[in-house]
Amino acid sequence: MKTRTERDSLGEVQVPEEALWGAQTQRSLNNFPIGREKMPQEVIEALVLVKRAAAVVNVELEVLDEDRGRAIAKAADRILSEDFSDQFPLSLWQTGSGTQTNMNVNEVIARIASDDSRLSIHPNDHVNRSQSSNDVFPTAMHVATVLAVERRLLPALDRITKVLREKSDRYRDLVKIGRTHLQDATPLTLGQEIGGWVRMMERCQSMVITSVEYLKDLALGGTAVGTGLNAPEDFGRKVAQEIGELTGVDFSTAPDKFHSLTSKDELVAFHGVLKALAADLMKIANDVRWLASGPRCGLGELIIPANEPGSSIMPGKVNPTQAEAVTMVAVRVMGNDTTVGVAASQGNFQLNVFMPVTIEAVLNSIGLLSDVMESFTDRCLAGLEADEERISQVRDRSLMLVTALAPVLGYDGAASIAKKAHSEGITLKEAAVAMGSLSGEEFDKLVRPEKMV
């Protein structure tokens, strides 16, 4: 491989000739050959947006000349619109402040801007002007998270909620047996059961919207330790406004930069909502696969789409594969939540140095939840059907319909009818008549499942 010599404050280092990065990126590549995980592209995009906004504001505040500011902004625009993904190769497992990725972005922007403008543009002196990795990286974490929520998570939540609401409306009058403790319980409608799932998704959507608001406060302007050293007055507010104009999101500068640099409580709270969403999706997916179990030897009340053969040995088998994917994603998100919580607890003095692993976990959860909701919605929930004959059969055989008799016969009297019916394998009606508790006409008047919902 042909190389060129690059220099930084530590001296010379050899860089691949075609690479747009410089010495600090190469040192990181050399020093952190750890794992397969790379810094997420969402973080790179957010960092580039920050650099573009900072260049505009630095020119406005007269700490950067207009020609260099314009060149940096144009280079950032190129990176955002073209494919430069191979120029951001650094491992996730690097310095905990994200400094090397910040410098990777600085160096690539500086190289593109210098080549395009034929000006001398320095990655630190010009691209990183008025900034520190310590305020840039947490700013990028928030921007990346907010954009991922707006672009992916909320649309996926909208879609799954809409489809579930349609199913709830469709089956609002279909009476079925309820189940608690995995045992028969009193009736409800299938629409009511699915309506509970709808409410879960609506509440999660509301909690996402509320919690993500806190992430719209940006750390930029705090520089190294939160004091704002080497940044012009009002720099943070103006950059937040500029990022807002670039993204269409109402970002603002954080009121306390000391908090922004060292604490990640806002991301912990936000990811807690993702964990709640994962828990609700786990519940819905498990309900679907339990209710669709069978088709003949299980509950069999729901019919799931037959997307692919379910077994390599058993012909004709259809498995709840989409539900299984949901539950695996839920488990991963719950694991990510532990990572985020532990990482956030490591904000020593003026800086948290677990930021790369934190943002990777957050973005991983957003991406997985978004993808799995879209897949589950389109390939399972949209095609979900009720087996009405099976639902009626199971409902009418349930012993818990006897609950309707408790106000008339008392708890113990109703229980004795259920016990007799169960032990002798007869219906509740037959048991009530045989015991002389009720006539057949009285039983039919009292035990009406459609009146019990």
Residue numbers in the known binding site for substrate are 97-99, 122-125, 132-134, 180, 312, 317-319
Helices (H), 6-65: 23-31, 41-60
User: How many other β-carbons are positioned within 10 Å of the β-carbon of residue 425?
Assistant: 7
Burial class (CB in 10 A: 0-12, 13-18, 19+), 46: buried
Determine if the peptide bond prior to 449 is cis (ω within 30°): no
Sign of dihedral through CA atoms 47, 50, 56, 60? negative
Q: Which residues are annotated as a binding site?
A: 97-99, 122-125, 132-134, 180, 312, 317-319
Amino acid present at 445: K
DSSP 146: H
Span between the terminal Cα atoms of the chain, in Å: 74
Half-sphere exposure of 310 (CA within 13 A, CB side): 17
In 74-101, which positions are buried (b, 16+ CB within 10 angstroms) versus exposed (e)? bbbeebeeeebeebbebbbbbbbbbbbb
In 181-193, which positions are buried (b, 16+ CB within 10 angstroms) versus exposed (e)? eeebebbbbbbbb
Pairwise CA distance, residues 72 & 127, whole Å: 7
Residues paired with residue 175 on neighbouring β-strands, in sequence order: 189
User: How many other β-carbons are positioned within 10 Å of the β-carbon of residue 258?
Assistant: 14
Phi, psi of 63 (to 5 degrees): -110, 5
* In contact, 373 and 329? CB cutoff 8 Å: no
Pairwise CA distance, residues 87 & 16, whole Å: 11
Query: Pairing state of beta strands 217-218 and 252-253?
Result: parallel
Is 423 in the active site? no
Pairwise CA distance, residues 288 & 283, whole Å: 9
Place of tokens 């508790």: 437
Q: Which of 85, 120, 206, 311 is catalytic?
A: 311
Pairwise CA distance, residues 286 & 282, whole Å: 6
Is 181 in the active site? yes
Query: Tokens standing for 228?
Result: 């704002």
Sign of dihedral through CA atoms 117, 118, 119, 120? positive
Phi, psi of 14 (to 5 degrees): -90, 130
Active site residues: 181, 311
